[in-house]
Amino acid sequence: MAKVPNVIADGAPAALTAASGLVGGYGVARWTGRRELGGAVLAVAGAGAAAQWHRRSGARTAAVLTGLYVVAFGGSHPLAKRIGAWPSVFAVTGVVAAASTVATARSGRSEV
């Protein structure tokens, strides 16, 4: 029987998976009016990114980046009151994506 490839883990950089969760989660919540659907997108992408970080950079880096992902989500809310919702989401997404890219590059393992 042929093995089905893990597209999330093998096909996309972890930074893209995390960014998709933050931007996609907010977009789904906003456009559907259902916060729980946005939360589901956020959680699934976050779990996928965490698995990628763990596989590519080890447990410690995965824990730090997963914590950053959660803090970024939480921090986007008060930041949105100052700069607006979408700018806030993009700002925290940029921080998480940059941190993911740097951490993965420093681990010496391939991001793709």
pLDDT tens across the length of the chain (112 residues): 555 445 444 567 999 999 999 999 999 999 999 999 999 999 999 999 999 999 999 999 999 999 999 999 999 999 999 999 999 999 999 999 999 999 988 876 554 4
Tokens of 40: 């589901």
Q: What is the pLDDT of residue 111?
A: 46
Asked if 99 and 62 count as a contact pair (C-beta separation under 8 A), the reply is no
The pLDDT, as a whole number, for residue 106 is: 85
| pLDDT at residue 25, rounded to an integer | 97
Q: Look up the pTM and report it.
A: 0.84
Query: Which pLDDT belongs to residue 6?
Result: 53
pLDDT at residue number 8: 47
CB neighbour list of residue 59: distance below 8 Å, 6 or more residues apart:
none
Q: How far is CA 75 from CA 27, 37, 89, in A?
A: 17, 20, 9
Per-residue burial over 20-45, b = 16 or more CB atoms within 10 Å of its CB, e = otherwise: bbbbbbbebbeeeeeeeebeebbebb
Q: What is the pLDDT of residue 81?
A: 96
| pLDDT of amino acid 87 | 97
